[in-house]
């Protein structure tokens, strides 16, 4: 049920054409992050899942940093669509 609500953000045609795009990768990482956080709320001592979550968060952060450098408009649109926080700037 939860998965279907997030997948509806991308139409079937967009998924088939642009699986390698930065937006789709961030979208799929966000789905994985939401699934893992709900899992970790039940299983607090699952340290391997915590490690996997940190790795996925790092990958998503790097992709978002890349996208913000390349196209600020696409970055802002993606942040708004997925309802995630903006990157911290140093």
CA 6 to chain centre: 10
The reported pTM is 0.79
Instruction: Please determine, for residue 1, whether its predicted confidence score (pLDDT) is greater than 60.
Output: no
- Cα→Cα distances 16→8, 20, 45, 74, Å: 14, 10, 37, 19
| Mean pLDDT of the 78-88 span | 91
Per-residue pLDDT of 45-65, as tens digits, reads 999 999 999 999 999 999 999
For the chain, list the domains and their CATH numbers: 2-82 (1.10.287.10)
Helices (H), 1-90: 2-7, 12-17, 22-42, 47-70, 72-82
Q: Which residue in 87, 55, 70 sits closest to 22, CA to CA? A: 70
């Amino acid at each position: 049920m939860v998965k279907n609500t997030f997948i509806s953000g991308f139409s079937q045609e967009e998924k088939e054409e642009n699986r390698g795009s930065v937006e789709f990768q961030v979208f799929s990482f966000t789905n994985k992050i939401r699934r893992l956080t709900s899992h970790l709320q039940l299983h607090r001592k699952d340290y391997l899942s915590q490690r996997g979550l940190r790795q996925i968060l790092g990958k998503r952060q790097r992709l978002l940093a890349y996208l913000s450098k390349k196209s600020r408009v696409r970055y802002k649109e993606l942040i708004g669509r997925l309802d995630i926080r903006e990157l911290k700037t140093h």
